[in-house]
Structure 1
Amino acid sequence: MDLLDFQRYQLAFTKHLRQPKSAPKPAKASAKGMAIYTEIVFNNIVSSVSACFPVAQLVMGKRAWTTLIRDFFINYQSQTPIYKEVPQEFLKFLESQHKHTSLLTNKNLPPFLSQLAHYEWIELALSTSIIKEIETTSINLKDDLLTKKPVLVEVSALLKYDYPVHKISKKFKPTQPEATFLLVFRDITNRVQFIELNAVTFRLLQLLGPNKLTGKQALTQLTNEIKHPDLDAVIEFGTDILLGLKEQGAIVGVLNS
């Protein structure tokens, strides 16, 4: 189907925005105006992405980082026009790159980059997440975490990474995978908190997540899964863990029966 004049203009306009050096500007567009607009649009993309991924930017270096964002701007087809969602689209772009080892090698991208970016993005995602109205009468703040069903804070995420993303910096860039478990949540002051977990605690919180098990039931199932010979020892250990998470605000209470 033939395009209408305004559609051809829009197509040429957006192509030039993405690739000003290779795609010609629309015939009737001002060269000066296009140059200004092209710079503004790209700088806004850079600003939005860089604000969400400061550590990734430091690890990559300014030149390589800008080149990577340019690659995203030119080649990735975003699924949303909403400006605040640009970082999530950039994350999807990185994840698509990391599915192909050859792309990582050709573009000299660190193997941990997409996971580091996800770790940085999750803070934005949780800080802007809208919580549902909670029936406070259904939650008891002081009851027993073992005999009742513990409730995790609503705005939270259990995360497993192949690299210690929370330790990565300009000076520390891991070269070998290292299984890393994190609980990320928004506390009652609306601050996003990160807690490093071990594999056992991570699994315990997975079991508690759906609010179907009491603390003791979850610990009993965990004992069976890890084939630990001493249930009482696991329950004692697990009780301390649950109390600690409650003190840190990750567990808000228990469900009323």
Structure 2
Amino acid sequence: MADTLREQQLRMTGFIRDPQANPPPPGIEARRLAVYRRLFFGNMQSLLAGSFPVLHASLGSTQWQALIEDFYTNHRCQTPLFTEVAGELVGYLQTRVDLPGWVAELAHYEWIETVLLLSDDAELEHDPDGDLLDGVPLLSNLAVPLAYAWPVCHIGPGNIPLQAPSEPTLLLARRGADHKVHFSRLAPLAHALLVSIQEQQLSGSEHLAALAALAGTEPQAIETQGLELMRNLRSESILRVSMWERL
């Protein structure tokens, strides 16, 4: 009996994905197969170029096409949603240890903007007058602290770093009330505090005490600065205080 429909589909998709490693399905003209290949690969390349415009421009057309061809051939996406394919590329790039380190980090930096723009996460219930030191501070669902070894916000065509600087690039990405994503630089204390709040539910005092211990100093040495920092973050709706002692 002739191949089942599924077998025919697998032959077709295998050839379209990687024509060098898979024989063409029988009974279909090479011209038609080439049209399908250009259509599918072209759509993928166009989709990702739109999601990563700076990375696309920084790599140049030849290297970009080679990269997307390898991704198209060898990566198995775990999502059928076009809006999530960019995240698949980010994960794929993190496995490409042969590429310069800035490539994966720049892709992640561009991808975070899309994630926040498309996010429909609801904010947790919070106490607008909650005590920042005694209460449990919460990070907004529309804010993400970021740390990169490479200066991702300055990379672009004609400005490709040859090596990572000695200091990391610490950033906060957040979606504002204007429904736009904003990036701002973070001082080391602000970044460490936001990461601590993101990862564990403690009171504000406990977060600052833990950071002081890491720095080898007394909690009182950073409490004033830390409290002022938390007040500023709350005024920008980046931090909130839980209505409960522990969620």
Q: TM-score, normalised by structure 2?
A: 0.84
Relative distance call for 1:196 and 1:37 in structure 2 (3 A) is same
Name the structure 1 match of 2:104. 114
Q: Is the 8 A contact 1:151 1:211 kept in 2?
A: no
Q: Percent identity?
A: 30
Match of 1:47, SS?
A: helix
**Among 163, 169, 193, the residue aligned to 2:150:** 163
Cα displacement (A) at 1:44: 0.8
Cα displacement (A) at 1:78: 2.3
Cα displacement (A) at 1:210: 5.4
Once structures 1 and 2 are overlaid, which stretch shifts more, 111-120 or 124-133? 124-133
Q: Is the 8 A contact 2:119 2:142 kept in 1?
A: yes
Q: Is there any run of 5+ residues in structure 1 with no aligned partner, and where?
A: 99-103
Cα displacement (A) at 1:21: 6.0
Query: How many equivalent pairs are there?
Result: 242
Once structures 1 and 2 are overlaid, which stretch shifts more, 22-31 or 35-44? 22-31
Separation in structure 1 between the aligned mates of residue 212 and residue 2 of structure 2, nearest angstrom: 66
Match of 1:174, SS?
A: coil
Name the structure 2 match of 1:41. 40
Q: Is there any run of 5+ residues in structure 2 with no aligned partner, and where?
A: none
Whether 1:65 aligns to 2:64 is: yes
Name the structure 2 match of 1:250. 238
Whether 1:235 aligns to 2:234 is: no
Name the structure 2 match of 1:101. none
Match of 1:55, SS?
A: helix
Separation in structure 1 between the aligned mates of residue 188 and residue 27 of structure 2, nearest angstrom: 62
Q: Per-residue CA shift, 1:53-109, capped at 9, x if unaligned? A: 1111111011210111011112222223332222122222211112xxxxx1xxxx3
Q: Per-residue CA shift, 1:5-63, capped at 9, x if unaligned? A: 43342233113212346644322224333222221111110111111111111110112
Q: Is the 8 A contact 1:91 1:117 kept in 2?
A: yes
Separation in structure 2 between the aligned mates of residue 220 and residue 110 of structure 1, nearest angstrom: 38
Whether 1:6 aligns to 2:15 is: no
Separation in structure 2 between the aligned mates of residue 45 and residue 35 of structure 1, nearest angstrom: 15
Q: Is the 8 A contact 2:123 2:141 kept in 1?
A: no
Q: Is the 8 A contact 2:57 2:157 kept in 1?
A: yes
Q: Is the 8 A contact 1:181 1:199 kept in 2?
A: yes
Relative distance call for 1:34 and 1:250 in structure 2 (3 A) is same
Separation in structure 2 between the aligned mates of residue 242 and residue 169 of structure 1, nearest angstrom: 33
Q: Is the 8 A contact 1:187 1:250 kept in 2?
A: no
Cα displacement (A) at 1:223: 1.8
Q: TM-score, normalised by structure 1?
A: 0.81
Matches within 5 A, 1:202-241: 202-209=191-198, 212-228=201-217, 231-241=219-229
Matches within 5 A, 1:75-114: 75-98=74-97, 104=98, 109-114=99-104
